[in-house]
Structure 1
Amino acid sequence: MTRFTMILATLMVAATPIAAPVAAKPAANADHSVGAQYDTTHVYVPEAQFDAFVASFVATFGGKTSKQGEFQVTPTLSLTKSQLALTPVGTVSVFGFKTPIPYPFGDERTGYLVSDMDAAVASAVKHGAVRRIATFPDPIGRDAVVQWAGGVNMQLYWHTTKPSYAALTTVPENRIYLTSDAADTFIHDWTGFAHGRIVSDDRAAKGEEIGQPGKTIRRVAIESGYGRMTVFVSDGQLPWPYGRDVTGYEVADLDATLVKASAAGVETLVAAKAVAGRLSAMLRFPGGYIAKVHGMAAK
């Protein structure tokens, strides 16, 4: 190779465009859930009925309670009785305010423990939620209240010292009632945030399941690290008490559970009936908390 050829080859190499480095693909959105046993239904009851509710809930479902205390759990001045009822079929956070309840508390249906508070809130906002109240400290950690499409309010919380609760025997379902105006948006946003999996999407479910015999509704079942969720999509014309039930609890023996509930002062609002492959009833506990209870229907 002549000296001229070598120089020409060198110039050609130098003139060849250098490929830009391949940009690293952004990491998948992190899943900030911790476990279904840490997801609690928030139950607000009159202070005078606080003890009666807690006692009736544990008598109905079994389990135990945390130590009762009085705390300021909101960022503004307030005081409430507070206690956990931890049962094999789901946990409730019970509040009996001794002062007026500050806005926007009382509207959130559930509290979800997250592994990273700031990241979880940022992810929720990225996936369509809006903050009803910015992150604030509480006596044992940090909290925020967010709202999803259709007005679904929930609290995200993080503990300074990570709690340790036993796994649940059965995972309760968060029961969401929406119209078609918001349903698809909510389902898209929630599954994106929660890394949720749509287990079933029945667009021809029987309306009698939510007190609308003769009508057809859509029922979507979703599972994630935050537990189970069932979204009912209808015209919203629901008779009492449907739509007031926030959580559905699965029990091994519904008849036995209803006997225990009655003995504990719990009222049966809707008698047990077989719908959608399971036997279900609607209960109202002292203090006004309404819940769905179900077991598998006999084959």
Structure 2
Amino acid sequence: MKAIVGLVAGVIAMLPGSASARDFAVSPQYDSTHVYVAPADINAFLTSFTATFGGSVTKPNLVQVTPTPSKTISQLAQTPVGTLSVFAFQTPIPFPFGSERTGYLVTDLDAAVAAAKAAGATVLVEPFPDPIGRDALIQWPGGVGMQLYWHTVAPHYPALATIPENRIYLTKGAADAFLRAWLRFSHGHILSDHSVISGAAFGRSESQVRLVRIQSRYGEMVVVAGDGAWPWPYGREISGYGVTDLAATLEKANAAGAVTLISAHDVDGRQEAMLQFPGGYIAAVHGPAGR
């Protein structure tokens, strides 16, 4: 199945005149996880997250980032393990904002949106201007929401120490449709595809799941496919972060106000845990086996 999916995606991407023939990705340090928190929690969240992983935070700005009237405090957290776009809305959040998991910087927004549509995505919000560029919201098969964005002035961020994972939970049928569409758009490739593994690592010890790891210029991605019934907090973690010493990272996180929801355990040859930071943001963290 893995070879067939990769081959089909590659053939489609190279068809003459295909809207998916171009790769619009820039680099993973320009891709961000979107985190929505209450205004009262934003400082505690950013302090806890950067105390755990390092990095820096931009000054808060009160801006309108949606095409309809709204106001949010907006800050960027740049860490060695990934970038966060953090929003603390002071007005109700306009629909469908808040449903997008991640934002990906692209070289050409209109062309990237067209390529996403050709690959099977639905456009939720057509391209619109924001204070520093343009954005669009799209949704992939299975309901996976993302933002594509473009900056008027090209940003320059340092490379990451480790590439964060976009973690996606789907039913097995939806996973097939999502993988076909995402591979076509991203020009990515499958690193591993375990079609039948124990669901114990994802809170479903009585079930079997499919675990797919993907890599592209948009970064890493993990797709977990099962029957769609995931016990809390599985599926609530949008991103996963790689560290060299998992035990030390969990200790720093707990000292900085984060709570360990899932203790370190073995998953596909590595150790994983799950944290919840002040304000509610849940993240997976992984390190080498036995660390």
Question: What TM-score results when the alignment is normalised by the length of structure 2?
Answer: 0.92
* Structure 2 counterpart of 1:285: 277
* Structure 1 stretches of at least 4 aligned residues deviating more than 2 Å after TM superposition: 24-28
User: What secondary structure is seen at the aligned counterpart in 1 of 2:194?
Assistant: strand
Distance 1:31 1:25 in 2: 14
Q: How much has 1:25 moved relative to structure 2?
A: 4.4
Distance 2:123 2:178 in 1: 15
* Structure 2 counterpart of 1:52: 44
Distance 2:172 2:226 in 1: 7
Distance 1:213 1:52 in 2: 35
**1:92 is aligned with what amino acid?**
L
**2:46 is aligned with what amino acid?**
V
| Equivalent pair of 1:209/1:276 in contact (CA under 8 Å) | no
| Equivalent pair of 2:243/2:249 in contact (CA under 8 Å) | yes
Is the counterpart of residue 89 in structure 1 residue 90 in structure 2?
Answer: no
User: How many pairs are equivalent?
Assistant: 276
* Structure 1 counterpart of 2:11: none
* Structure 2 counterpart of 1:80: 72
* Structure 1 counterpart of 2:221: 229
* Structure 2 counterpart of 1:14: none
Is the counterpart of residue 131 in structure 1 residue 123 in structure 2?
Answer: yes
**1:261 is aligned with what amino acid?**
A
Matches within 5 A, 1:12-91: 25-26=16-17, 29-91=21-83
Deviations 1:40-98 (A, max 9, x none): 00000011001111111100100111222110000011000010111101111000001
Q: How much has 1:143 moved relative to structure 2?
A: 0.1
**1:253 is aligned with what amino acid?**
D
Distance 1:228 1:154 in 2: 15
Superposition CA RMSD, Å: 1.3
Deviations 1:153-197 (A, max 9, x none): 000000000101111111011001000221111000000000010
Distance 1:291 1:69 in 2: 25
| Equivalent pair of 2:172/2:210 in contact (CA under 8 Å) | no
**2:275 is aligned with what amino acid?**
L
| Equivalent pair of 2:201/2:265 in contact (CA under 8 Å) | no
Distance 1:181 1:275 in 2: 23
User: 5+ unaligned residues in a row in structure 2: which ranges?
Assistant: 1-14
User: 5+ unaligned residues in a row in structure 1: which ranges?
Assistant: 1-23
Identity over the aligned pairs, expressed in percent? 58
Distance 2:23 2:59 in 1: 31
| Equivalent pair of 2:171/2:227 in contact (CA under 8 Å) | yes
